[in-house]
Amino acid sequence: MKKTDPISTEIIRNAFIAIAEDMNAGLIRSAYAPVIYEGKDCVVALLDENGNVLGQSSGLPLFLGNLEVCIKETARMFGWDIFKEGDIFFVNDSYFTGTHLNDATIYAPIFYKKTLVGFSASRAHWLDIGGKDPGGPMDSINIYQEGFRWAPTKIHENYKPRKDIIEFLKMNGRFGYTLEGDLNAQIAAGKLGEKRFLSLIDRFGLDMIKSAREEIFKQSEIIERQTVKKLKNGIYRAEGYLDNDGITKDPIKIKMTVSVKGEKITIDLKGSSEQKTGPVNCGFAQTVSACRVAFKNLINPKRPVDGGTFKTLEVKAPEGSIFSAKEPAACQWYFSILGLLIDAFIKALSPVMKNQSAAGHYGDSMVFILHGVDYRNNSPFIAVEPTPGGWGAWGDGDGADALINNVNGAFKDIPIEIYENKYPVTIRNYGIRKDTGGPGKMRGGNGLYKEYTVNTDLNLSLWFERSKTTGWGLFGGKDAIGPKVNLKFPNGKNEKRLKSNSYPIPAGTKVTTFTGGGGGFGNPFNRNPENVLEDVKNNYVSIPQAKKEYGVIITKNLKVDYIKTKKIRKGK
């Protein structure tokens, strides 16, 4: 067997990364659904013949490293013989993939001279998969309401598309052609990966590739072990709550215990809530994935992921809990608790990783949906968007204002000009929501507000979370202000609500969404008064807030009154 050398290993390693990135770029650019091309709600990977990752590129951090599960599970169910040349597989079952049914995983074996040498795989969010509500319900109480549910299925067999299956899928989704377009984009991405992998094998030979792969995995593992080893051994904890499951009023607890021992980190989620009636449950595969994202945020964030990464990380969650949901738990909003889980991991380890940590962020996607019929062209429409909010501050930086949440991809807020063109809605007010970031030596980022006036009768669906556990402060920094949504009806009546499922609102209703801020870092009384003044000038902090939270007196002509400031800061 031909063994690799440092030069070939590095060339092959760079090639694996480049292949995955090109696959992902292709998928994102040619996808139909905005949630893929803008939300980057997708991931691709090139894997070896055992289902280990060679190269991965993820649009959405949450999908970090759970594609291999699909291949390994398929093999476990049907045996490795199931993978034949010219086959392409499809699966979307939540308990299998860990995410919601909208996430379609497409994977295909790669053969080189009749031998199985690897897999291409991708996962992308399909717009509609035939659940009870367009796009996916907000109040489902079991998985059967959420859409079609598939075990591993050959969607292409022996180089031919299975038209019967594809028609079935199209027929069951509300937007058939987008479904087919996204499926084709995924298949094309897989083919690109296959082609490039085969030409790499042609060049280096299969033995060399395998030998280099072992070397690359080993390098990744060593680098991670070295980083973890430097952490102080101990047990670290954090906990927090989601508001509710959308059905009942009970808060949902997440409890995390992180133990660091030598070169190993274990995340145990024992003590977290049992699985819930509402759609907030998550499959174990996805919980592992979210823990990996959390881990990656602190441990070597810039290094690409491969089969050698995460060997030092173990994840445990009790079966039947919200983090390891069982049939028939509803899973549509599986990601809400994961945003909190990531914040919790960073908080838990902050005592030993102060420089890498950051305070909590506003926490969830804050999804805003309007649907109905556009009176201008009589067409039905659905407008879905997540809303940015404030992020937590850290050792030497203020948190970002109005930034998309951690479990989302690179989602861009929809421009007002496009929104008003596409939907019968007018947006008159949109801006940074001052005083919502947690005060601290470093200030938490502010959330935002956005006022929508609907110009015809429409339905409103909302999923706004994290009003109970807002973006928490760290090291003496304070917690942030949480979200709210105000409805002002044309008859003058007002209403506040954070969640709703297809709630009818008449023409002329103004809906204003307010997202929360991020937590502060360090004692706010230690913040440089000049920075507080800048914040006041820029309208991030009000004059009363400067006094109350920061102990800084700002005069009417916008100067710091140092004498009074000194006094007030000493007084507390």
Give residues 3-22 in contact with other proteins (rule: CB under 8 A).
Answer: 5-7, 9-11, 13-15, 18, 21-22
Q: How many residues bind other proteins (CB under 8 A)?
A: 86
Among 26, 137, 152, 240, binds other proteins (CB under 8 A): 26
Cβ atoms of 391 and 358 closer than 8 Å? yes
Helices (H) and strands (E) in the chain, counts: 13, 20
Closest separation between CB of residue 396 and other proteins, Å? 9
Pairing of strands 313-316, 234-242: unpaired
CB 305 to other proteins: min, Å: 10
Kindly state the smallest distance separating residue 152's Cβ from other proteins, in Å: 23
Q: What is the edge-to-edge ordering of all strands in the sheet holding 115-125?
A: 53-58, 42-48, 115-125, 103-112, 88-91, 153-157, 160-161
How buried is residue 64: exposed, middle or buried, by Cβ count under 10 Å (0-12/13-18/19+)?
buried
CB of 93 to other proteins, least distance (A): 26
432 part of the interface to other proteins, by CB under 8 A: yes
Which of residues 539 and 555 has its CB atom nearest to other proteins in the complex? 539
Q: Cβ 60 to other proteins, closest distance in Å?
A: 8
| 102 contributes a contact to other proteins by CB under 8 A | no
Of the candidate residues 431, 504, 506, 544, the single one contacting other proteins (CB under 8 A)? 431
Q: 57 is written with which tokens?
A: 């590129």
Smallest distance, other proteins to C-beta of residue 81, A: 29
For other proteins, the closer CB: 329 or 480: 480
Q: Quick one: which segment of 1-9, 100-108, 160-168, 327-335 binds other proteins (CB under 8 A)?
A: 1-9
* List of E strands, 499-562: 499-505, 510-514
DSSP string, 256-297: EEEEEETTEEEEE-TTSPBP-SSS----HHHHHHHHHHHHHH
Site residues for other proteins, 329-348, by CB under 8 A, read 346
Q: How far apart are the first and last CA of the chain?
A: 73
Does position 539 bind other proteins by CB under 8 A?
yes
DSSP assignment of 136-194 equals --SS-SSGGGS-----SEEEEETTEE-HHHHHHHHHHSSSHHHHHHHHHHHHHHHHHHH
Is 144 or 430 the residue whose CB approaches other proteins more closely?
430
Angle of CA points 54, 57, 62, to nearest 5°: 110
Please give the radius of gyration of the chain, using alpha carbons only, rounded to the nearest integer: 25
- If one asks whether residue 32 binds other proteins (CB under 8 A), the answer comes out as yes
Q: Does 219 bind other proteins (CB under 8 A)?
A: yes
Query: Considering the rule CB under 8 A, would residue 134 count as an interface residue with other proteins?
Result: no
CB of 369 to other proteins, least distance (A): 16
Within 33-72, which residues bind other proteins (CB under 8 A)? 33-34, 37-38, 58, 61
Is there binding between residue 201 and other proteins (CB under 8 A)? Answer: no
Closer CB to other proteins, 80 or 430, in the complex: 430
User: Given the rule CB under 8 A, which of 230-238, 271-279, 391-399, 559-567 is the region that contacts other proteins?
Assistant: 391-399
β pairing state of 42-48 and 425-433 = unpaired
Closest CA to 152 of 79, 92, 223, 62: 92
Distance between CA atoms of 552 and 309, rounded to whole angstroms? Answer: 47
Is 401 a binder of other proteins (CB under 8 A)?
A: yes
92 vs 406 by CB, closer to other proteins? 406
301 makes contact with other proteins (CB under 8 A): yes
Q: Would you say how long the chain is, in residues? A: 572
Binding mask 224-253 for other proteins (x = CB under 8 A): --x---------------------------
**From the CB of 446, what's the least distance to other proteins, in Å?**
10
Max Cα separation, the chain? 82
CB-nearer residue toward other proteins: 201 or 404: 404
407, 242 contact by CB (below 8 A): no
Q: How far apart are alpha carbons 60 and 293 in whole angstroms?
A: 10
From residue 25, alpha-carbon distances to 48, 192, 508 in Å are 21, 11, 41
Binding segment for other proteins (CB under 8 A), chosen from 76-84, 96-104, 404-412, 483-491, is: 404-412
Q: Least distance in Å: CB of 274 to other proteins?
A: 29
Sign of the C-alpha dihedral, residues 286, 289, 295, 298? negative
Of 243 and 398, which has the nearer Cβ to other proteins? 398
Taking the complex as a whole, the smallest distance from the CB of residue 135 to other proteins amounts, in Å, to: 13
Q: Does 522 bind other proteins (CB under 8 A)?
A: no
**Distance between CA atoms of residues 70 and 91, nearest Å:** 8
Binding residues for other proteins restricted to 181-200, rule: CB under 8 A: 181, 184-185, 187-188, 191-192, 196
Q: What angle do CA 126, 127, 132 make, to 5 degrees?
A: 110
Of the two residues 280 and 291, which places its CB atom closer to other proteins in the complex?
Answer: 291
- 3-state DSSP call for residue 512? strand
Residue closer to other proteins by CB (options 37, 368) is: 37
Minimum CB separation of residue 401 from other proteins in Å reads 7
Stretch that binds other proteins, among 67-75, 255-263, 401-409, 486-494 (CB under 8 A): 401-409
- Residues 413-435: b if buried by 16+ CB within 10 A, e if exposed: bbeeeebeeebbbebeeeebbbb
* Residue 126 lies near other proteins (rule: CB under 8 A): no
Q: Which of these ranges, 86-94, 244-252, 310-318, 397-405, lies near other proteins under the rule CB under 8 A?
A: 397-405
User: Does 418 help bind other proteins (rule: CB under 8 A)?
Assistant: yes
* Contacts to other proteins from residues 437-476, by CB under 8 A: 448
Whole-angstrom CA distances from 243 to 140, 142, 155, 250, 254 are 17, 20, 40, 7, 11
Of these, 400, 460, 462, 505, which contacts other proteins (CB under 8 A)? 400
Among 537, 559, 566, 567, binds other proteins (CB under 8 A): 537
- Asked if 148 contacts 91 with a C-beta cutoff of 8 angstroms, the reply is no
Distance CA 57, CA 63 (A): 9
